[in-house]
Chains A and B, each alone.
Chain A
Amino acid sequence: MATEALSGEAAALPFDDPRALAAVSLIWREAHLLDARRYEEWDGLWTEGGEYVVPIDRDTTDFAATLNLVYDDDRMRRMRIERLTGGFSISAAAAARTVRSVSRHVVTGRDGDAIEICSAQVLVGYKREETFVLAADVTHRIVFGTEGPGISRKIVRLVNSEEAVTASGFLL
């Protein structure tokens, strides 16, 4: 279900809507879990049928028709978690340490039970004598169900997605 797009002045974080603060709080909790590589708990933040995408083409919205870095439904996301935690992947075993900030939140869409928030993410990673930076625009669609807010869609548009991307054993 699409959220209603908001334009211009309506895009600021609306502090009169308690859902906005709850959504931002969820986004920060997600960032914490990903930096801590607590992937099983991260999986619990998702609603059923969630879509997790790291596209190559920053402008596309038809992810199914194009090649992506990540294009996960529930099944692929859980297999990804299994790979990162199962002990059989040498890159996961030697995963980079990461610290990420997620900020510059703006609400880009709202409807009855969902809110869409676009944020800036700056991730600093470290592995074997090298420290690197990955920057991205991140869009979350947060759905408010009976069990509280959950992520129904997350799209991570890296600034350098069309060139060589450095990533080693962590998730964006």
Chain B
Amino acid sequence: MTPEIGSLVEPDRVAGSLYTDPALFEREMDRIFHRTWVWVAHESEIPKAGDFKTAWVGRRPVIVTRDRRGGVNVLLNRCRHRGASVCETPKGNGNGFTCPYHAWSYSLDGALRGIPYPEGYEDVVEKKDLPLQRLKAGSYAGMVFASFSEDVEPLEDFLGGARLWIDRFMKQGAGYPIKVQGEHRFRFQGNWKIQLENTTDWYHFPIVHRSWMASVDAETANMLSIMTDENAITHSLGNGHSVAISVADHVDFDEDDGTEKLQDRFGHLVEELSKDMDPAKVRRIVRAMHGVGFNLNLFPNVAMSMSFFRVLRPVSVDETEIRHVALGLDGGPEIVNRERLRIHEHFQGPFGFGSPDDAEAWNRVQRGVAGDAGMAILVNRGLGREKPNDLGQPTSHATDETGMREAYAMWKRMMTDGN
């Protein structure tokens, strides 16, 4: 099977069957989602001991918990007795989890704590042998990842060249930690890789999102004049990761030559914040109201895009759930966090001015590809102008398909024996 899979991905194109073949999807769950690092949470979602949230690693439901010692645990949401899920509350705080079926109870780190009427298990079961299945967990800059593989490479190595960009992303907090403020969820009838491709696809933006562009102020629209901005570039970062810059002046918020005019739309923020905050800090916060000037795509399931996280969950070969996670400044001014919520609502979610148009395009890809799954998907835009940067990372214009080529090269390595 492996040689055939290898031939499905070429440097400039991939087979349409990557979106439609159920056997490939099963293999992706096994060889990608159950082996590598998959994003499950941001630490701000579980700040206190006892906090938990549910998440997915591929199609497997997990619980992410903060235990009494402050440790982060990622546990398979499945009782070790007869298999019932032990938590159906999306988020909360508690002492542990009790299975609804026979009340086996587990602590926050997954240890089996209690079995009712234990006499039936004398000389049969030792509680220490039956904890909830633990995944390997790792955290970088507050981003929590998990893996079903004990042998997975260290998280920092996996993130590799993306770490610099994660650090830059967090600078939009302007000195405050980033926190999750809520999320929009929707599904589209298409393969997960259609969304994976989209994060570093600035080519679609002025076309698919024309109605959003028409609804924002001229300064915001001009900020995203990517098609004609030669500083809007994209880099392959290795291991399937990539970044595409939309606003070069907002790549690193520590750099500010003072020439950028703050947008008029945030005048009320400047006025309010200036009452008890020094001008430099006000400027730092307001420059970052739209988030960073890039979209970072982390293979396989999370993106850090401008001011939000995009999380994808493969449901089946032709269905994918998307979460757009709104971010704010933990401990920052309330007026800033509320304005960031309004910006998020304007674009994201099933009633946003942007997401429904993305979903329509992605649904149409799946429907069209089904017309001939043997016909290639082209990911060759910019091949003629792509060059390595100082770090040797393939680099091209932000509208080019460099990031997709990076993701599919990683896909090919993981799906064959090349990893």
Residues of A within 8 A of B (CB): 54, 56, 64-71, 76, 79-80, 82-83, 86, 88-92, 94, 128, 162-169, 171-172
Contact = CB atoms under 8 A, between A and B. Distances in A.
Given A54-B351, A90-B357, A166 B186 contact: yes
Contacts of A66: 182, 341
Nearest to A63: B341
B214 interface: yes
B350 A67 contact: no
Interface in B314-371: 321, 326, 334, 338, 341-342, 344-346, 349-351, 353, 356-357, 359-361, 363, 367
B185 interface: yes
Nearest to A167: B350
Contacts of A79: 215, 353
Interface of B: 90, 181-187, 208, 210-212, 214-215, 321, 326, 334, 338, 341-342, 344-346, 349-351, 353, 356-357, 359-361, 363, 367
- A-B pairs with lowest CB-CB distance, top 4: A67-B182, A91-B356, A89-B211, A167-B350
Contacts of A64: 338
Contact of A88 (B211, B341, B360): B211
A83 B351 contact: no
Contacts of A169: 356, 360
Contacts of B345: 67-71
Contacts of B342: 71
A80 B325 CA distance: 22
A169 B356 CA distance: 7
Given A54-B351, A70-B345, A83 B215 contact: yes
A167 to B, nearest CB: 4
Contacts of B187: 164, 166
A91 B215 contact: no
A88 B350 CA distance: 17
Contacts of A163: 185
B275 to A, nearest CB: 20
Contacts of A165: 185-186, 349-350
A168 B215 contact: no
A89 B356 CA distance: 9
19 contacts: A65-B334, A66-B182, A67-B184, A68-B341, A70-B345, A71-B342, A71-B345, A80-B353, A83-B353, A90-B208, A91-B360, A94-B360, A164-B187, A165-B185, A166-B350, A167-B186, A167-B351, A167-B356, A168-B356
B214 A82 contact: yes
Given A66-B341, A67-B345, A166-B350, A88 B356 contact: no
